[in-house]
């Protein structure tokens, strides 16, 4: 015959169960990417790479050595674009580790102020998205929206936040990045980001085009060799 559990233990188990059920109902993990597995070029249905090359190396995601592309064996990662296959993500918390190994330039991609790493949220297409510039050559952070119609690959960028100065890229060092995006009752969208204590926040009330309600998440690299890991996207309840 099994002895009755201690009543204190029964109470603790009940409380933990209630908390867990409540938390699980409120949040759901949509993306949990650790890049574990055999090294080499990544062919994963969860990710769409529209430019450049995505490698798995040392258990991390890697752009490879950036070059302009066009020849056998080239990476083309001077222009790197990867986005989630899922495009129905609305209110989410995005976190990842990011390392900018170095900045480069090529004949096709000369050095520009915005070179570096950018996190996409609400990506609907290459003409409609939010971009959080977390690491830029000009040592700034900023949140932008891209609207359809314009000279930037069929779209145009609109600054949503003030430019945060004095945030140089900590080259060859892992950074913890977090980005949060939320729909608001008044129809606006709030985007906020943190890079090791450097923060930027924006509110989109319909600048140039309507706020974006949902989309994918992704990473954009310009003239930058990037490593990234532990990409986690949690949907808010």
CATH of domain 28-235: 2.60.120.560
Q: How far apart are CA 34 and CA 12, in angstroms?
A: 33
Q: Please state, as a whole number, how many other Cβ atoms lie within 10 Å of the Cβ of residue 39.
A: 13
Q: How far apart are CA 205 and CA 189, in angstroms?
A: 7
Q: How far apart are CA 202 and CA 80, in angstroms?
A: 25
> For 212-226, how does the pLDDT look when each residue is reduced to its tens digit (9 = 90+)?
999 999 999 999 999
> For 80-127, how does the pLDDT look when each residue is reduced to its tens digit (9 = 90+)?
999 999 999 999 999 999 999 999 999 999 999 999 999 999 999 999
Q: Extract the tokens encoding 115.
A: 């070179």
pTM score? 0.89
Share of the chain above pLDDT 90, in %: 87
Query: In the chain, what are the domain boundaries?
Result: 28-235
Residue 20 has pLDDT above 60, yes or no: no
> For 45-69, how does the pLDDT look when each residue is reduced to its tens digit (9 = 90+)?
999 999 999 999 999 999 999 999 9
pLDDT category, 26, cuts 50, 70, 90? low
Measured CA to CA in angstroms, residue 47 lies from 5, 34, 85, 132, 194 at distances of 48, 13, 5, 19, 24
> For 185-195, how does the pLDDT look when each residue is reduced to its tens digit (9 = 90+)?
999 999 999 99
pLDDT category, 27, cuts 50, 70, 90? confident
pLDDT category, 23, cuts 50, 70, 90? very low
Residue 8 has pLDDT above 60, yes or no: no
pLDDT category, 6, cuts 50, 70, 90? low
């Amino acid at each position: 015959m099994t002895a009755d559990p201690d009543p204190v233990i029964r109470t603790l188990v009940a409380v933990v169960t209630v908390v867990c059920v409540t938390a699980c109902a409120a949040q759901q993990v949509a993306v949990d990417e650790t890049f574990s597995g055999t090294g080499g070029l990544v062919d994963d249905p969860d990710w769409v790479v529209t430019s450049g090359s995505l490698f798995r190396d040392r258990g991390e995601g890697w752009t490879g050595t950036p070059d302009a592309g066009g020849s056998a064996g080239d990476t083309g990662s001077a222009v790197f674009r990867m986005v989630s296959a899922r495009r129905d993500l609305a209110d989410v918390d995005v976190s990842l580790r990011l390392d900018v190994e170095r900045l480069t330039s090529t004949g096709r991609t000369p050095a520009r102020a915005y070179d570096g790493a950018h996190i996409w949220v609400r990506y609907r297409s290459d003409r409609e998205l939010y971009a959080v510039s977390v690491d830029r050559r000009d040592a700034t952070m900023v949140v932008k929206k891209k609207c359809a119609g314009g000279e930037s690959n069929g779209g145009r960028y609109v600054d949503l936040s003030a430019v945060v100065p004095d945030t140089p890229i900590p080259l060859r060092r892992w950074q913890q990045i977090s980005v949060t995006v939320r729909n608001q009752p008044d129809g606006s969208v709030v985007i906020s980001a943190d890079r090791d204590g450097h923060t930027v926040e924006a509110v989109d009330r319909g600048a140039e085009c309507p706020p974006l309600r949902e989309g994918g998440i992704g990473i954009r690299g310009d003239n930058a060799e990037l490593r990234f890991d532990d990409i986690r996207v949690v949907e808010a309840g």
